[in-house]
Amino acid sequence: MTVTKEKLLDLLPPYTDEWIKVKEKQQVKDIIKLICERHLDFCSDYDLICSAFVGASLQDTCNNLYDFCAKNLHYKEESEEVQTVGNPASIIARGATGIDCKSYALFIGGCR
């Protein structure tokens, strides 16, 4: 099974390039809190796409999710001054130019 970013973006609300900045002078606890909040905020979006990764077995499903991330979501560390999180459409759309570990965690956790 091949999941494409175009297929997923068609299922999601339109990409608006909205990113939420954690806050000025954030600490690790601030980042963790925001990830947890955004996970809840974006559950309904992830519900629209998670079935695209379902395979014949749990292993197949995990492989489908891994393959999509490896192909489409490239890692790029954010600076300490600017820490952001986005919705699934923004993560997918900006994946080619780079997302950080927060976005990976949100995406993979959201596609539960």
Residue 86's DSSP bridge partners are: 19
Residues 37-64 pLDDT 10s: 888 999 999 999 999 999 999 999 999 9
Q: State how far the Cα of 12 lies from the Cα of 14, in Å rounded to an integer.
A: 6
Is the pLDDT at 1 greater than 70? The verdict is no
Q: Name the residue among 107, 43, 109 with its Cα closest to residue 73.
A: 107
Q: What is the pLDDT of residue 65?
A: 94
Buried b / exposed e across 76-104, counting CB within 10 Å, b at 16+? eebeeeebbbbbbbbbbbbbeeebeebbe
CB 74 within 8 A of CB 94: no
